Structure 1
Amino acid sequence: MALVEQLNRDMKQAMKNKEKDRLAVIRMVKASMQNESIKLGNKNLSEDEELTVLSKELKQRKDSLQEFKEAGRDDLVDKLETEIDIIESYMPRQLTDEELEQVVKATIREVNASSKQDMGKVMSTIMPKVKGKADGARINKLVQKHLS
């Protein structure tokens, strides 16, 4: 519930400061959270569910950013980069490469993985541990590197 309260405070502050971009992003995130809440049928999202919504919003924008860069749409690239920065400010601190590598190695040992066939087992065990703290693609590359 703390994230929703923070979003509400930041939304009011953005209105006072006339920060249109920030206000629009906060409203989109709040709407996504409200939609998720309705979909799940409960009034308050857990911290984990809030993080899932934020991660989904961030991933959508990063995917769009790549497409806009390839299409040469610099106007939209700038707008999306601003939105990504705003959403990232609500995400937990991201793990460094060294920290992530340690988690990957520990998880591989934990599930006794030895080959690429164990990839699914490793990924399903590691993802809840690092939810919101690392990008799935980064994790996937590291797991593949250590299982090869």
Structure 2
Amino acid sequence: MGLKEQITEDMKAAMRAKDTGKLGTIRLLTAAMKQKEVDERVELTDALVLAIIDKMVKQRKDSISQFEAGGRQDLADIEKAELVVLEAYMPAGLSEDEIKAEVQAAVAATGAAGPQDMGKVMGVLKPKLAGRADMTAVSALVKAALAS
């Protein structure tokens, strides 16, 4: 069963269980997926669904920090609940050591010599690590590896 079908099944289960919080989040996700399908006239693959979920996770994290900075803990709690539901669909994250190993392998594979080759290295890493690692942190590790 693909990720898209899994999300649909989870939505049905949330409806049966009358879990309004989870149901609302899954409906937001399915709406975003449908929007992507209609806008780009594509059939969503698991990789595209993961990209949508990753974007929604980033939005939730940003909203949580903004709400907490503004003293709106009630809204931050709602976003945190949505974040938990969305993160359940993300693949297991990689440890920092695993990410560093991937960065070293990509630097060696591309023959990168300095900061000017960062785009090449990130181009290799992005498909491998998308959804499994924070790409901002990966970028910082690549920059550090190429600087030395």
Q: The TM-score by the shorter chain falls in which range?
A: over 0.9
What residue is the counterpart of 1:86 in the other structure?
A: 85
What residue is the counterpart of 1:36 in the other structure?
A: 36
Q: Give unmatched runs, 5+ long, in structure 2.
A: none
Q: Give unmatched runs, 5+ long, in structure 1.
A: none
> How big is the alpha-carbon RMSD for the aligned residues of Structure 1 and Structure 2?
1.3
- Identity of matched residues, %: 37
Give CA deviations for 1:87-138 in whole Å, capped at 9, x if unaligned.
Answer: 0100111111111111011001111112222222211221011111111111
Distance 1:48 1:4 in 2: 10
- 1:40-51 pair list within 5 angstroms: 40-42=40-42, 44-51=43-50
Distance 1:144 1:21 in 2: 40
What residue is the counterpart of 2:76 in the other structure?
A: 77
TM-score (norm 1): 0.92
- Structure 1 stretches of at least 4 aligned residues deviating more than 4 Å after TM superposition: none
Distance 2:70 2:113 in 1: 41
What residue is the counterpart of 1:135 in the other structure?
A: 134
Give CA deviations for 1:42-88 in whole Å, capped at 9, x if unaligned.
Answer: 3x311211111111111111122222222221111111111111101
Letter in 2 for 1:78: D
Distance 1:60 1:135 in 2: 13
Aligned length in residues: 147
Distance 2:94 2:113 in 1: 24
- 1:48-67 pair list within 5 angstroms: 48-67=47-66
